[in-house]
Amino acid sequence: PQLIRREDYRPFAWNVPQVALDFVLGLNQTRITARLDVERNPVAEADPTLRLNGDGLTPVEIRVDGAVVQSWVMEGADLVLTLPGEAHQVEIVTEIDPSANTQLMGLYASNGMLCTQCEAEGFRRITFFPDRPDVLSTYRVRMSGPKDQFPVLLSNGNHVDGGESAEGVHWAEWYDPWPKPSYLFALVAGDLVARKDVFTTMSGRKVDLAVWVREGDLGRTEHAMESLIKSMKWDEERFGREYDLDTFNIVAVSDFNMGAMENKGLNIFNTKYVLADSDSATDGDYDGVEGVIGHEYFHNWSGNRITCRDWFQLSLKEGFTVLRDQLFSQDMGSAAVKRIEDVRVLRAAQFPEDSGPLAHPIRPDSYREISNFYTATVYNKGAEVIRMMRTMAGEERFRQGTDLYFDRHDGEAATCEDFVAAIEEGAGLDLAQFRLWYSQAGAPRVTVELALEDGEAVLTLQQSAPATPGQSGKQPMPIPLRIALFDRESGQHGGEQLIVLTQEQQSFRFAGFDQLPILSLNRGFSAPVAIDREIAADDLVFLAARDDDPFARYEAMQDLIVGHLKKAIGGHLSDDDRAAARAAIGTAFRAILTDDTLDDLMRGELMILPGASYLAEQMLVSDPAEIHAEREGLKAWLGAHCGAELQAIHQRASGVSYSRDAAARGLRKVKTQALVYLAAGKPELAAGLAQDQYQAADNMTDRQGALMVMAGLESPDRDAMLSDFYDRYRDNPLVVDKWFAIQAQSLHPGALRHVKELAEHPDFTLRNPNRARSLYMAFAAASPTFHQADGEGYRMIADVILALDPINPQTAARFVPFLGRWRRIEPKRAAMMKQELERIAAAPALSRDTYEQVSRSLG
């Protein structure tokens, strides 16, 4: 497959100001007539050939200016026409079979309905088109089909007309006045019902809102609608962005490759991010719905009104929109807890990516298959990079920067550089050096030294960036660090400060100290870097208990534990040292369990141990079995050592009836957290408590929490609880997904065997991405048995990749990174992982998606 390079970008030779699409819909056969008004692009190099991308299409008929032409050629999958004049009308007829579309890209059938997914390059599976984000057109869409099968017909923009054309056949016409790239095109036809509402925008326009689902799911749409209305209001208040069409539709589909899609005026969602009620959705699921609804809605400005010039600029819309959805969720709930959660996700998903064979800058330089670049780096690190600009500018000036960006580039296909230039000018920042964050991959490491000199605290920082594939010898980048220096006597600090490390090594001096202060660094995780520092356990215990920045408090607890586990995993601890380290952690942990000033949501966060993948990141090469053993050992010790406090928490949180307020959510969070520790330290007691929690549960958070703990235990009640859960929810696919995932990611030593058995379950299928992920992604990401010493876990995931690749290459390729980290794993396992990658690479007819990920992983 061809390598596509950012530096090769050229504007397209033709503009396509208007597109008219006519769909004659059928599940097995859909006929599409596309009429494109094309005219030469004055800013591009003149070229009489019009190359229209296609993927698996054959033209049925082609007309130019009304006359059938034969003078076209196929070049690979693309259609190439030669056009003599300045402007023409090109009409192309294609026919496709949506029910055969297992890739779920383009137009496909899902449970009897038809829907589309066009980002990034799915439109070319519907009709021939310049399928690139810098070609913007207005779309008029007519569709017709059997009314009983497809009573609802939706597309982008506003509904303009409709009627019956023949007995039982109806049609609808939609017009979207906003020019858009083809990846934002959408169509839905199906038997759906809607929850409807109306939103009045800040300028007083009324917008009809609808959330479309299957009939039986209507009762689970209230939270989605509330989240949409909150998002619309929030974007007006915080970014001055108003909605711009008369209708906004959301449709939920159960077969979907990702979370959701921001098609103009017609967002299409994975059911997982729409449907929620207390019986079937956890508190985390509710947050997920709110966050993803917000994310897709915010794209209306950051993505749709201003789109990307080319796919290398993906972080322009995704990084910025992730930041916007994170800020939205911070405002809707606990800002502190949300920040910690976001950092945890970054560390678990993005840090390993940035330090492995798939590392790439947030603005990549090349790709073979763009779907492989919808990554935690482009999304989450992209958001962190923009967050740093916000931290340096302050909220108000940052808003001036975004206002300028939206004004200046509205209606354009823009670049990351356009964004940075607008923030630079609007916010009054010098971002010359900062631009390196867009071009350099890898998380910088900052080494810290604090000394006392003549009544001054001297903070010396040194930064280094690791070599990443294709990039070595990196330049220093600006690293904004929020810090505070705590006086040891008073336990207070004299105010937070922002310092920006711009050089490789730099010292910062702070007057007024006659003894070394305690340094609270990278507060709020102001920069996405790794910090290396020697700090006394007592100082970390102090910060874990007393820091007024909630993230720094969490971080101190994490550092305390990571520092200990790193030594323990390396086998460098004497029994005395282990006892001393555990005692310090135990003191801090107990303080968290019993601190009355903490709310339970925050307490629940502080209780979470650093994840195994984050721990692995701290070591050049690690042994997953050792990490697991030490981490579980500490958990068991804490469970036993703080058993009384944990039981007290579990009791305090039990018997409180369901509500969605923060206090009740906090209680549910600490309740299951307490159970997790007790399960490790006092398994028999925990099995009983889990049973009580499960039986008393009046909501999914408690029920899933109890089942999750029980699934990891060798308890006689385990099978009965799992069966009960399945029997209760067998008709709800999203909950059946949970049932698969709970078993796949459990701590049970037989998890690998269970996964193999579950793959034979009648409800299991590789064809539904949610189901495939619920079993195999959950397993590879979380089960200790993925790394089973005989390599069986690796073999199974490689088999899954090979089986899934012909069905859904995009989803198949997303499993590759689990094997791709072989260089950072101890040699025996590394050899087996590599061998599996080689087996995949040798398979015939591998998709471009999987080929690219496997070859980069081996390279």
Residues annotated as part of the active site: 296
Nearer to Zn ion, 298 or 776 (CB): 298
Contact of residue 235 among Zn ion, ligand HT7, none (CB under 5-8 Å per partner type)? none
How is residue 854 annotated by DSSP? H
Instruction: Using the rule CB under 6 A, give the single segment among 114-122, 304-312, 414-422, 770-778 that binds ligand HT7.
Output: 114-122
Token digits of residue 335: 């800002």
Nearer to ligand HT7, 102 or 462 (CB): 102
Spatial contact of 414 and 402, defined as CB atoms under 8 Å apart: no
CA distance 527 to 461: 14
Contact of residue 257 among ligand HT7, Zn ion, none (CB under 5-8 Å per partner type)? ligand HT7
The enclosing H or E element of 505 equals: strand 505-511
Peptide bond into 120 cis (omega under 30): yes
Token digits of residue 852: 């690219």
The sign one gets for the Cα dihedral 558, 559, 560, 563 is positive
Nearer to ligand HT7, 309 or 665 (CB): 309
Site for ligand HT7 (CB under 6 A): which residue of 176, 262, 283, 547?
Answer: 262
The sign one gets for the Cα dihedral 703, 705, 708, 709 is negative
127 binds ligand HT7 (CB under 6 A): no
Nearest to 733 by CA among 287, 274, 194: 274
318 binds ligand HT7 (CB under 6 A): yes
Contact of residue 371 among ligand HT7, Zn ion, none (CB under 5-8 Å per partner type)? ligand HT7
Q: Among all chains, which residue has been given the structure tokens 């980069």?
A: 856
Q: Minimum distance between the CB of residue 323 and Zn ion, rounded to whole angstroms?
A: 11
Site for ligand HT7 (CB under 6 A): which residue of 22, 296, 424, 805?
Answer: 296
Nearest to 718 by CA among 709, 729, 727: 709
617 binds ligand HT7 (CB under 6 A): no
CA distance 263 to 677: 44
Q: Is 39 helix (H, G, I), strand (E, B) or coil?
A: strand
Residue spans of beta strands (DSSP E) within 431-487: 445-453, 456-464, 479-486
**Packing angle of the helix pair 624-641, 662-681 (nearest 10 deg):** 110
CA distance 44 to 101: 35
Q: How far is CA 252 from the centre of its chain?
A: 18
Site for ligand HT7 (CB under 6 A): which residue of 119, 235, 605, 836?
Answer: 119
Full DSSP string of 758-778: HTTSTT--SSSHHHHIIIIIH
Contact of residue 261 among Zn ion, ligand HT7, none (CB under 5-8 Å per partner type)? ligand HT7
Site for ligand HT7 (CB under 6 A): which residue of 94, 103, 117, 468?
Answer: 117
Footprint (CB under 5 A) of Zn ion, residues 275-334:
318, 321
Nearer to ligand HT7, 801 or 825 (CB): 801
Token digits of residue 473: 């010898």
CA distance 285 to 551: 23
Q: Minimum distance between the CB of residue 145 and ligand HT7, rounded to whole angstroms?
A: 24
Show the site string, 783-812: x = touches ligand HT7 by CB under 6 A, - = not: ---------------------------x--
Q: Minimum distance between the CB of residue 104 and ligand HT7, rounded to whole angstroms?
A: 8
Token digits of residue 115: 């829907």
CA distance 836 to 832: 6
For ligand HT7, which residue has the nearest CB?
Answer: 258
258 binds ligand HT7 (CB under 6 A): yes
Site for ligand HT7 (CB under 6 A): which residue of 129, 374, 398, 405?
Answer: 374
Site for ligand HT7 (CB under 6 A): which residue of 261, 389, 393, 751?
Answer: 261
Sheet architecture: strand order including 497-501: 497-501, 479-486, 518-520
Residue 75: CB atoms within 10 Å: 10
Nearest to 388 by CA among 345, 347, 423, 338: 423
Nearer to Zn ion, 383 or 573 (CB): 383
Show the site string, 333-372: x = touches ligand HT7 by CB under 6 A, - = not: --------------------------------------x-
CA distances from 352 to 314, 813, 853 (A): 20, 17, 15
Nearer to Zn ion, 321 or 350 (CB): 321
Instruction: Using the rule CB under 6 A, give the single segment among 43-51, 234-242, 260-268, 745-753 that binds ligand HT7.
Output: 260-268
Nearer to ligand HT7, 307 or 355 (CB): 307
Nearer to ligand HT7, 22 or 119 (CB): 119
180 binds ligand HT7 (CB under 6 A): no
Q: Minimum distance between the CB of residue 247 and ligand HT7, rounded to whole angstroms?
A: 20
Nearer to ligand HT7, 50 or 370 (CB): 370
735 binds ligand HT7 (CB under 6 A): no
Q: Minimum distance between the CB of residue 370 and ligand HT7, rounded to whole angstroms?
A: 8
295 binds ligand HT7 (CB under 6 A): yes
Contact of residue 117 among ligand HT7, Zn ion, none (CB under 5-8 Å per partner type)? ligand HT7
Spatial contact of 754 and 722, defined as CB atoms under 8 Å apart: no
Give the 3-state DSSP-derived string for 141-167, with helices as H, strands as E and coil as C: EEEEEECCCCCEEEECCEEEEEEEEEC
Question: What are the φ and ψ backbone dihedral angles of 513, each rounded to 5 degrees?
Answer: -125, 125
772 binds ligand HT7 (CB under 6 A): no
Instruction: Using the rule CB under 6 A, give the single segment among 257-265, 475-483, 614-622, 656-664 that binds ligand HT7.
Output: 257-265
Total residues interacting with Zn ion, rule: CB under 5 A: 2
The footprint of ligand HT7 (CB under 6 A) covers: 117, 119-120, 257-258, 260-262, 295-296, 299, 318, 371, 374, 810
The footprint of Zn ion (CB under 5 A) covers: 318, 321
